[in-house]
Chain A
Amino acid sequence: MENPAFLLGIPIVVIGAIGVLLSLATLLGSTRLPAWLLEPMAAEHVPTRPVHEPAALGETSHPGPMEYVMVAAALFALEALELVVYYLDFLGAAALPIFLLLTVIQFAMVAMWYMHLKFDSRAFWQLFVGGMILAGAIFVVVLATLGSSFL
């Protein structure tokens, strides 16, 4: 059992076993897969929908210039905080997770307010975050495989 990759196999086998049992159960007729799984997008009539117009003058849900300036002030502060952390030598290796956290917060604020993701259709953030997760996952594997010191 020297090869730790076996550990990877265990959850996969477990998931596979559950899947097999589920399919057998459905086959034997005692269980029906829920409709939302088989037909998540089904609708009797899917009309086309008018495109959601950008928020017009006067709508309060849409952030105004003041909110944007406040976001900018927050970004400014976060950036300054990053600099402070950079110069605090005593933090050592603990600085890394703090940097990552501050970066993520800055990223999220720009994305949610400036890029309007907080107020728009969830399809947009799902696409964007999906791309990021994919990029993150594959490159973590690449860096690990090539023995990067970062990981």
Chain B
Amino acid sequence: MQHAQALEPALETSTGLDNRKLLMWLFLASECLFFGSLIAAYMLYRDRSVVGPYPGDLFDIPFTSVSSFVLLMSSLSMVLALAAIQRGDQRGLRIWLLCTALLGITFLSGQAFEFTEFYREGLSLDTNLFGTTFFVLTGFHGAHVSVGVLILLSLFVMALRGRLTPEKSLNVELAGLYWHFVDVAWVVIFTVVYLVTPT
């Protein structure tokens, strides 16, 4: 007997895997191709810019590292939120969800600051290959983080209204999977774009 999945406890399936969890992992697998393409374009054009500014002129590694730490810590708060809902700790759930969202917003602010700094230093989408590939890659990553923040805030509001009971923990788990993916994508981007760069 098959139901619409909506917000229901899991049913029997041929593989024993939950439909929505399987869907999320398929989606994340496809996102590997998406980010892989963007990263490849960056790597291809890495040292082919004909005019500056060049990465070495603009990157502020300490600043971006702090941003990266922030995002990494948001993964911790995310998984703590999941642990909270699973053991029925509604207060913990709300705190950690909000914390994750706020850390995400902090990361985005850091990105926004960085973008505007680079822009003021003369780098935009059309300046050179570095500008093009950098802004598009990190821009799409930022867009993914933004969507994640939106989802987290929505879950937070639901939690405030008492609608996120332990049976609904899958929703938090799925949001968490998405959030962690966005985090590891940043780990890769930070290394490939910022650290591995001809100075």
> Are chains A and B touching directly in their complex (CB below 8 angstroms)?
yes
Residues of A within 8 A of B (CB): 46, 48-57, 64-65, 68-69, 71-72, 75-76, 79, 82-83, 85-86, 95-96, 99-100, 102-103, 106-107, 110-111, 113-116, 121, 123-124, 127-128, 130-132, 134-136, 138-139, 142-143, 146, 148-150
Whole-angstrom distance between the alpha carbons of A56 and B166 in the complex? 10
Whole-angstrom distance between the alpha carbons of A121 and B72 in the complex? 25
Q: A49-B15, A121-B15, A142-B40 are in contact. List 14 more A-B contacts (CB 8 A).
A: A48-B13, A51-B10, A51-B16, A51-B17, A76-B69, A95-B195, A100-B191, A102-B191, A106-B184, A127-B29, A128-B32, A148-B43, A148-B46, A150-B43
Q: Does B95 contact A (CB under 8 A)?
A: no
The interface residues of chain B, by DSSP majority, are classed as helix
Distance between B136 CB and nearest chain A CB, rounded to angstroms: 16
Whole-angstrom distance between the alpha carbons of A96 and B197 in the complex? 10
Whole-angstrom distance between the alpha carbons of A143 and B170 in the complex? 39
Residues of B within 8 A of A (CB): 10-18, 21-22, 25-26, 28-33, 35-37, 39-40, 43-44, 46-47, 61-62, 65, 68-69, 72-73, 75-76, 78-80, 83, 86-88, 169-170, 173, 176-177, 180-181, 183-184, 187-188, 191-192, 195-196
Q: Which residues of B contact A96 (CB under 8 A)?
A: 196
Interface centre among A100, A124, A142 (most CB of B within 10 A): A124
Q: Quick check: B75 and A110 within 8 Å, CB to CB? A: yes
Known A-B contacts A103-B187, A114-B78; A51 and B12 likewise in contact (beta carbons under 8 Å): yes
The interface residues of chain A, by DSSP majority, are classed as helix
Q: Quick check: A114 and B191 within 8 Å, CB to CB? A: no
Which residue of A is nearest B178, CB measured?
A: A115
Which 4 pairs between the two chains have the least Cβ-Cβ distance?
A135-B36, A131-B29, A51-B10, A49-B16
Whole-angstrom distance between the alpha carbons of A121 and B187 in the complex? 25
Q: Quick check: B187 and A83 within 8 Å, CB to CB? A: no
Which residue of B is nearest A121, CB measured?
A: B17
Distance between A25 CB and nearest chain B CB, rounded to angstroms: 35
Q: Quick check: B177 and A115 within 8 Å, CB to CB? A: yes
Whole-angstrom distance between the alpha carbons of A49 and B12 in the complex? 5
Interface centre among B21, B47, B80, B88 (most CB of A within 10 A): B21
Whole-angstrom distance between the alpha carbons of A69 and B80 in the complex? 9
